[in-house]
Structure 1
Amino acid sequence: MNIEKVLKLFHNQLRIESTPPGFIKEETDHVVRHVSKFNEDGFISASNVNNQNAGQVIQEELNYFSSLGQRFEWKVFSYDQPPHLLDLLKKRGFQIEEREALMVME
């Protein structure tokens, strides 16, 4: 099994292309965000940030969801960049939940 190929499929199909029912998908240069139509928590399913812009992008998303009056979750996976993204989010007040696993079978 080609792990890189599986991760690419997962990333594209479930993090970039997916639009869950009840949400409006919005794409910017740096995130794919999902805003709830029914006053549930929104979420960021994917991000494209680096060491130079991560802090600014995190603050922009905090401001954006705050302006909507909507709480949100930032989904982070082990391959997301920068490697210390979870630490940056924690410093901005995000609660870090327990790690989850992804299992794939041929």
Structure 2
Amino acid sequence: MPSTTAPAALLTLYDREIRRDARPDGPDDVVERVGRVVRRTAPAHGWNGVVWSDFASGEEADQAIADQIAHYTSRGLAFEWKLYAHDEPADLGSRLLAHGFTPEPDETLMGAETDALALTATVPDGIRVVPVTDEAGVDQVAAVHERAFGDDASRLRRRLLDTLTTTPDTVAAVLALAGDVPVSAARMELTPGTSFAGLWGGGTVPEWRGRGIYRALVTHRARIAAARGYRVLHVDAGPRSRPILQRLGFTPLTVTTPYVYEPSL
């Protein structure tokens, strides 16, 4: 079922509520608007970076880029400049490269209104979905993440545990179990005071892929979001998840590229 709101309108709402008016993720996060930049500063295991910018000229962009590098490196922090395809100036990506940022793979920002989604996916036979509420569950999420994505999940583990401890109403994490063995995990970040809930980290271990578990976890989280009054879901989709999400009713809104800056040792 298609969204009832045009993609351009959803993107405008996303830019305003999630980017320009960004809120702290937790008690140790600081969100600041500095000139034409909105940035988040967190502990080293948190997410640090620029979530929104809007420059009138290339010169203004270059100065702001240099200022953000100085801000984060003075604290010994790596950070991300999350660039969206419609951000200005049009050559902002090239300017970030010139300042020493490294681009990561593009992702498609997708959105859907919860009441327009096809929430008919069922949990596959032999699988049960359980909420993550404690440290043991977080450890299982981290283990699934490492097997599914092949990268270190220690920072994810600390962030998720911090959130569950301090602001549990802003996250919903779930595990898919085959018997007692975790085979898939995902989380949803709920942004109070906005229309949006974000889907993150959906991953299934290789031997359990292709059985509909990812789709079932998307549906499970969408139902939670709707029950809590969140009108719109957003997700940064890779090439494997994008067609699944489109079949569920998600619409591509734009392309986003993470540009990462690592401080010199």
Q: TM-score band (shorter)? A: 0.7 to 0.9
In 2, are the aligned partners of 1:26 and 1:34 still within 8 Å (CA)? yes
2 CA distance for matches of 1:9 and 1:59? 29
| TM-score after normalising by structure 2 | 0.37
2 CA distance for matches of 1:18 and 1:47? 12
In 2, are the aligned partners of 1:29 and 1:48 still within 8 Å (CA)? no
* AA matched with 1:84: D
User: Are residues 1:27 and 2:33 paired?
Assistant: yes
In 1, are the aligned partners of 2:22 and 2:38 still within 8 Å (CA)? no
Aligned residues: percent identity? 26
In 2, are the aligned partners of 1:43 and 1:74 still within 8 Å (CA)? yes
2 CA distance for matches of 1:23 and 1:6? 26
Aligned with 1:56 (options 50, 54, 63): 63
State the Cα deviation string for residues 78-97 of structure 1 (Å, max 9, x = none).
Answer: 11011111111011111101
> Which structure shows the bigger proportion of residues in strand conformation?
2
* AA matched with 1:14: I
2 CA distance for matches of 1:16 and 1:76? 13
RMSD, aligned CA: 1.5
Bigger-Rg structure (1/2): 2
1 CA distance for matches of 2:110 and 2:68? 30
Count of residues in correspondence between the two structures = 105
Aligned with 1:74 (options 45, 57, 81): 81
What is the CA-CA distance between 1:64 and the residue it aligns to? 1.2
| TM-score after normalising by structure 1 | 0.88
